[in-house]
Amino acid sequence: MIDPVILLAFVPAALALNVTPGPDMMLCLAQGMRSGRASAWAASAGVSAGAFVHVTVAGLGLGAVVAAYPWAFSAIRWIGVAYLLYLAVQALRSNQIKAGGQGMRPFKAFRAGFFTNLSNVKVIYFVLAFIPQFVVPEAGPVFVQFLVFGSMIALGGFVINGMVGAYAGTFGAKLIGSSKTLGYITSGIYAALAARLAVME
């Protein structure tokens, strides 16, 4: 059982990390502006699912093994770059979609969030650096503790990123109407995320 005192230290730290703007939040923002609240929440759910995969891998002790093969990380990273650029092109091509109309469906938004987070190889390093600080081997199976702490991070991220995207959806629908501006903004966000991932060391 996890000590409540440790939880009191972990929860504020995890929330502080969740509210820090990053690529996941920007992705949900783009989905919300382009496709509305449902897709924003779906993208946020995808991001959290991807984060949970990272936590599971780290908890199983595979992080150190994967880290021994830098080419695997590079492959994942460039797949992520290609996918984000694909989303940027799709946003430009779908400029005919009007505000209040149909943008990216929730399933595709979930998939975008999932693969974008999964391709961010820095997440597993963060997990391996952050969560072990709160793991107490004497308190029970380390893997279970990893999953509990990881679930808290994923849940907090889901709520915060989803709210950011949902607010953006309302803002985008009122601001743009049938203009092409929203498509350019969304495409620009995707392209910026791809560039960030491409130059990341």
pLDDT, tens digit, for every residue of 117-174? Answer: 888 777 777 777 778 778 887 778 878 888 899 999 999 999 999 998 888 866 655 5
Name 188's Cβ contacts closer than 8 Å, sequence gap at least 6. Answer: 88
- Helix ranges restricted to H, the chain: 4-18, 23-35, 37-59, 62-67, 70-93, 106-118, 122-130, 142-176, 181-199
The predicted pLDDT at position 64 comes to 61
Compute the C-alpha angle 17/23/28, nearest 5°. Answer: 95
Q: In whole angstroms, give the CA distance from residue 60 to residue 28.
A: 29
Q: What is the number of other CB atoms lying within 10 angstroms of the CB of residue 195?
A: 13
Flag whether pLDDT at 53 surpasses 50.
Answer: yes
What percent of the chain lies above the pLDDT cut of 70?
79
More confident residue, 113 or 34: 113
